[in-house]
Structure 1
Amino acid sequence: MGSERPVFVVGCPRSGTTMLQLMLHAHPRIAIPPETRFLLGAYTDRASFGDLREPANRRGLAEWITSGKTAFADLGLDPDSVTEEIVSGPPTLGSALGIVFRAYARRFDRPRWGDKRPAYLNNLGPLLRLFPDAQIVNIVRDGRDCVASLGETPWQQGKDVCHAISDWARAMDSSALARRTLAADSYHEVRYERLVADPEPELRAICRFLGEEYDPAMAEPARLAEVAVPSRKSWHRLTHEPVTTERVGSWRERLAPWQITLCEAKLGGRLKELGYPLSGDGSPWWRGPGRVHHLHYAHIDGPRRTLATRRALARFRDRLRPAEELAYRPAEPRELLPH
């Protein structure tokens, strides 16, 4: 029997996390849903749900998950059935959240479950408090391609390009921390460029990490896009097409020259550490139309520079609080939810 450890897909936004979600979802033993958007909110606001040893409080949490401002509707699950399963399940936050993911996996008769959300990369501490045995798969992509792709998304419209550059910088710092601190059987990193160029060896490596057998269906994620990618998410339209290298290095055409200069001025060290060569045009940042953005970047990027301090303070505050039991506990098997 294979592992049943939960699987979480992370990465900077526009790094290929949805493509990787679909590749893993194509495995006959694994189900990774569309972004659920309730895990981090539930963790942050956990005090508001009260003592989960009380069934009424578990019901309140369940109702927040299934009918609040989350993406629960994308999972195709019956909210009443999931609510009752949470109420009758183990009294921890991780257990309540895991019940939802497990119910989604049952839709596809899969024993392993997990989730995908880029924001988890900067929040691996809370994620691992909820799911201590989680296995993390992080996908890394050239920061300039991420910046170019982020600039085309609805949620970045009207924002300064500095936001996208800072997003990638923060994600790479979180990746470096995970590399240093997480065990080899808990964290695996894959490069977007290698994955799209030759999916099979990269997917085989992921399967070895997960303790699973490789399945050729994983290399054809577009077959599952209609099922596992909500149609309203137009920015994921390429997931409906075969895996391609077409977007590798497309920053050269998609970014203006001043944006390339800005990216390389702010991200150059990280890009070189990861093996992404710089364009080397040598343009000084104080010339050209991008100079005002260089000056603005410090304001946008400031909160990221304090991330390590804020994390340390959060850990210190957690130690001062009464011990919380948050971790996922398996519940007794139940009948399958209706498909």
Structure 2
Amino acid sequence: MQSDRPIFVIGCPRSGTTMLQLMLHSHARIAVPPETRFVVPGYYRRFSFGDLRQEANRRRLGRWIAGGKDTKFKELKLDADRFVEDVVAGPPTLGSAFGIAFRSYAARYGKPRWGDKRPSYYHHVDMLLRLFPDAQFVHLIRDGRDCVASLKEMPWYTKDVFHAVNNWAEAIDFGRRHARRLPAGSYYELRYENLTADPETELSKLCAYLGEDYDPAMTEPYHVARMAIPQHKVWHGNTHGEVTTARSGSWRKRLEPWEIALCETVLAERLTSLGYELTGAPEADKAHVAAVEAVAAKRRRARRRQEVRDRINRFRESGPVAAQLTTGQLGEPVRV
């Protein structure tokens, strides 16, 4: 039996996750849509929908997913009314409603398996496992200096370089934690640099982890970029061409000397443990290091508050939240 486990692509923003999304979407059995952004906000507002064992509440949830101004459901190009009725007729859990959306998207392409990509999901792996207990995670890692350099240039990234450094550090730290805690066959890491240098080898290994046969179409993701990447996301322009190593190491020209020093001072252990060489830049200014540490402390406090609230809120849940759609979710053995 072939696997039907959900696939989640995670990683620091600007680490190549959109390229990997397209590679997976190019597989004959897997569909991965553009970022939809209804899973995390839907989970946190789950109590507003009421007890999903009641049909009216499932309808309310379905309508929010399909019509919420921030959910980006429209990117799936599904019939909203049909989707709502599918949610009403489906299992009475939050994860099932989300899973029906992705399953319906995959069905558009005649594919039996779906995935989802959002870099910030690395913050929410525990949540995603509550919703999809049989999920598989693919963590794409890129040189932190390249991620910082790219984040600085994004029109949607309004924070400073100190936040950007923290973004990458958090992604690596969360990845290490998940690698230790998740069951075998649930977490996989690969490097952007290896993936772009030898796509066939790296994608073959990835497919083996996913329980899929390798599909050569995955090495030419630009074929699906036009239909799988919204036109307004002009910062993904590189995905419309062939896979290339040209951007690897481009931080040398895109970062200021003090920014290189900051990255290598704060991220040195993480970079070297992942095989990235340091330039030997001088120690960063103490004020810059302190700024990174202040941002990190603020972000940790915010996460802890959110985690405490969520643990408390779980006692209020009227029933299970986990999806009840796939072989593994229904309690049957999962093929690894």
Interval containing the TM-score (normalised by the shorter chain): over 0.9
Deviation string for 1:131-179 (max 9, x for gaps)?
000111110111000000111111224x321111111111111100111
CA distance in 2, matches of 1:77, 1:45: 23
User: Shift of residue 302 of structure 1?
Assistant: 1.2
Moved >6 Å (runs of 4+): none
Counterpart contact for 2:262–2:283, Cα < 8 Å: no
Q: Secondary structure at the match of 2:267?
A: helix
User: 2:170: which partner in 1?
Assistant: 170
Amino acid corresponding to residue 232 of structure 2 in structure 1: R
User: 2:151: which partner in 1?
Assistant: 150
User: CA 1:188–1:18 in structure 2 vs 1: closer, same or farther (change >3 Å)?
Assistant: same
Amino acid corresponding to residue 16 of structure 1 in structure 2: G
User: 1:58: which partner in 2?
Assistant: 58
- 1:43-122 matches, within 5 Å, as 43-68=43-68, 69-122=70-123
CA distance in 1, matches of 2:237, 2:249: 19
User: CA 1:39–1:312 in structure 2 vs 1: closer, same or farther (change >3 Å)?
Assistant: closer
Given the alignment of the two structures, is residue 251 of structure 1 paired with residue 251 of structure 2, yes or no?
yes
CA distance in 1, matches of 2:147, 2:44: 28
Deviation string for 1:36-88 (max 9, x for gaps)?
10000000111111111111111111111111121111111111110110111
User: 1:334: which partner in 2?
Assistant: none
User: CA 1:310–1:174 in structure 2 vs 1: closer, same or farther (change >3 Å)?
Assistant: farther
User: CA 1:13–1:90 in structure 2 vs 1: closer, same or farther (change >3 Å)?
Assistant: same
Amino acid corresponding to residue 29 of structure 1 in structure 2: R
Amino acid corresponding to residue 88 of structure 1 in structure 2: A
User: CA 1:211–1:123 in structure 2 vs 1: closer, same or farther (change >3 Å)?
Assistant: same
Deviation string for 1:183-238 (max 9, x for gaps)?
22111111100000000111011110111100100000011000101010011111
CA distance in 2, matches of 1:64, 1:321: 21
Structure 1 unaligned regions, length at least 5 = 332-339
User: 1:337: which partner in 2?
Assistant: none
Deviation string for 1:219-261 (max 9, x for gaps)?
0001100010101001111110100000111110110101101
Given the alignment of the two structures, is residue 33 of structure 1 paired with residue 30 of structure 2, yes or no?
no
Counterpart contact for 1:93–1:326, Cα < 8 Å: yes
CA distance in 2, matches of 1:51, 1:315: 18
User: 1:328: which partner in 2?
Assistant: 323
User: 1:206: which partner in 2?
Assistant: 206
CA distance in 2, matches of 1:245, 1:188: 22
TM-score after normalising by structure 2: 0.92
Deviation string for 1:272-295 (max 9, x for gaps)?
2212111102x2323xxxx64333
TM-score after normalising by structure 1: 0.91
CA distance in 2, matches of 1:231, 1:271: 34
Given the alignment of the two structures, is residue 317 of structure 1 paired with residue 318 of structure 2, yes or no?
no
Deviation string for 1:10-58 (max 9, x for gaps)?
1110111100000000000000110010000000111111111111111
- Deviating more after overlay: 295-304 vs 170-179: 295-304
The percentage of aligned residue pairs carrying the same residue is 54
Counterpart contact for 2:93–2:322, Cα < 8 Å: yes
- 1:153-302 matches, within 5 Å, as 153-157=154-158, 159-281=159-281, 283-286=282-285, 292-302=287-297
Q: Secondary structure at the match of 1:114?
A: strand
Q: Secondary structure at the match of 2:116?
A: strand
Structure 2 unaligned regions, length at least 5 = 327-336
Amino acid corresponding to residue 83 of structure 1 in structure 2: V
CA distance in 2, matches of 1:295, 1:226: 43
Q: Secondary structure at the match of 2:111?
A: coil
User: CA 1:229–1:164 in structure 2 vs 1: closer, same or farther (change >3 Å)?
Assistant: same
CA distance in 2, matches of 1:284, 1:29: 49
Counterpart contact for 2:51–2:319, Cα < 8 Å: no
Counterpart contact for 2:51–2:318, Cα < 8 Å: no
Q: Secondary structure at the match of 2:249?
A: coil
Deviation string for 1:81-102 (max 9, x for gaps)?
1011011111000000000000
Counterpart contact for 1:195–1:202, Cα < 8 Å: yes
Counterpart contact for 1:170–1:304, Cα < 8 Å: no
